[in-house]
Amino acid sequence: MYNLIVFLVLLLLGYGVGQYAERRHYRSIIEREGRLNALPAIASRYPPTQPHYRQALVTGSTVISVDYFKRFLAALRNLFGGRVTSYESLLDRARRESLLRMKQQAASMGAAMVFNVKYETASISKGRGNTIGSIEVLAYGTALIEPRGQ
């Protein structure tokens, strides 16, 4: 009985706080994405040859954790199979946040664009029963900075 109460409280806390945090995070992501839209991130390996841009490696990373409620949903989903939307939004948030941080770093250097953008995802802690606890996403690329004095 006691266990059940703890479980329900955790579930409710996870749902309430988790949903609120996610919505707030998405609002902030969309707002910052709008501001950094002028700085394109490109996945091409071949940079433009003219003008001779200066280069610098830029990185952005995020470690983000799933809440108790979503982990419960995912465990249920494991029984029936199908899309695990609760993890999809987690990964989506982590990727977009990492890309934004990378772009912010590039913007602070005065870069014109970021080339050869790559993502690297790793789950850094496993919860009970090998469910995903938290994931790290790293976005990195080469910032091309407009040469000065031309």
Partner 1 sequence: MLISNLELIPGRRVVEHLGLVQGSSVRAKHVGRDIMAGLKNIFGGELKGYTELLQESREEAMQRLQQQAEAVGANAILNVRFSTSSVAQGAAEIYVYGTAVTLE
Can you give the binding site for partner 1, defined by CB under 8 A? 10, 13-14, 17-18, 21-22, 25, 45-50, 52-53, 55-57, 59, 61-68, 70, 90, 97, 115-116, 118, 120, 122-127, 133-134, 136, 138, 140-142
**Residue 50 vs 81, nearer CB to partner 1:** 50
What single string gives the DSSP state of each residue in 78-131?
HHH-S--HHHHHHHHHHHHHHHHHHHHHHHHTTEEEEEEEEEEEEEEEE-GGG-
Judged by beta carbon, residue 36 or residue 64, the one nearer partner 1 is 64
- Residue 83 phi, psi dihedral angles, 5° rounding: -70, 130
What the block records as the tokens of 20 is: 């609120």
Task: Rank residues 14 and 103 by Cβ distance to partner 1 and give the closer one.
Answer: 14
Please give the structure tokens belonging to residue 55: 């280069």
Minimum distance between the CB of residue 117 and partner 1, rounded to whole angstroms? 9
Taking the least distance from each CB to partner 1, the nearer of 81 and 128 is 128
Q: Which is nearer to partner 1, 78 or 138 (CB)?
A: 138
Q: Which amino acid is at 95?
A: R
| Nearest distance, CB of residue 92 and partner 1, angstroms | 14
Give the C-alpha separation, 71 to 66, whole Å.
7
As measured in angstroms, the least distance from the Cβ of 35 to partner 1 is: 20
Looking at the DSSP assignment, which residues form a beta bridge with residue 81?
none
In whole angstroms, the minimum distance from the beta carbon of 56 to partner 1 comes to 8
Query: Closest separation between CB of residue 10 and partner 1, Å?
Result: 6
Residues 6+ positions from 132 with CB-CB distance below 8 Å: 66, 71, 74, 87, 123, 126
Q: Token pair for residue 48?
A: 């433009």
